[in-house]
């Protein structure tokens, strides 16, 4: 952590023991969310009591009653610790069955619908492989459920596979987040083509 500036009141020193990291999340659109809101809020209160989370809440576009994202502020001693906490999620026991399961089912249904639309609106009759990209691509079980529903080989895209990394790049972090960088990677590669 950076040195505390000299103009900070000494009484606040204990407040500055850890850095704060803002995490923005995309809301899960599922009817299960409303049923679990109480559990979710109780879990967030517990994270706050344990000193892991500082604040949380929905982010609304101006004039809208539907949040477009959520945010929470983590207390951590380093970026790596904050990233590990974000990825671990420190989620309630019922998360996988009550929230993640229905979300994965819904995602697989949407992919199946997109494939049906593709078949009916193009002359093509076969898809060889589905590549998942974006922040949710690495959700545990997503590629398996989509492959099972569509009967098409499905995997998570790895846009940096086969590329040499620069010395300043956190390679493991980049590989963990790679599916979210597919478009950026493709745009950058256009310079070389």
- Whether residue 91 contacts residue 28, with contact meaning beta carbons closer than 8 Å, is answered with no
| Alpha helices in the chain, H assignment, sequence order | 31-49, 79-88, 101-121, 142-150, 171-177, 182-189
How would you write the pLDDT of the chain (193 residues) with one tens digit per residue? 445 556 666 666 666 556 777 777 766 666 666 777 787 788 778 878 877 777 887 778 888 887 777 777 877 777 777 777 666 655 555 556 556 777 788 889 999 999 999 999 999 999 999 999 987 788 888 899 999 999 999 999 988 888 888 888 888 888 878 888 888 888 888 877 6
């Amino acid at each position: 952590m950076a040195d505390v500036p000299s103009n900070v009141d000494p009484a606040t020193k204990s407040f500055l023991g850890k850095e704060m990291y803002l995490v923005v999340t995309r809301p899960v659109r599922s009817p299960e969310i409303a049923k679990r809101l109480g559990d979710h809020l109780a879990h967030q209160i517990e994270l706050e009591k344990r000193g892991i989370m500082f604040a949380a809440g929905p982010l609304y576009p101006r004039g809208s009653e539907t949040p477009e994202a959520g945010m929470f502020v983590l207390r951590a001693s380093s970026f790596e610790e904050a990233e590990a906490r974000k990825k671990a999620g420190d989620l309630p026991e019922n998360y996988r069955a009550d929230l993640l399961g229905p979300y994965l089912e819904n995602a697989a249904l949407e992919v199946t619908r997109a494939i049906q639309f593709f078949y009916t609106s193009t002359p093509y009759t076969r898809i060889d492989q589905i590549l998942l990209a974006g922040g949710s691509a690495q959700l545990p079980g997503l590629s398996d459920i989509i492959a099972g529903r569509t009967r098409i080989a499905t995997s998570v895209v790895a846009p940096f596979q086969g590329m040499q990394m620069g010395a300043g790049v956190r390679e493991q972090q980049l590989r963990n987040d790679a599916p979210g960088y597919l478009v950026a990677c493709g745009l950058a590669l256009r310079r070389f083509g």
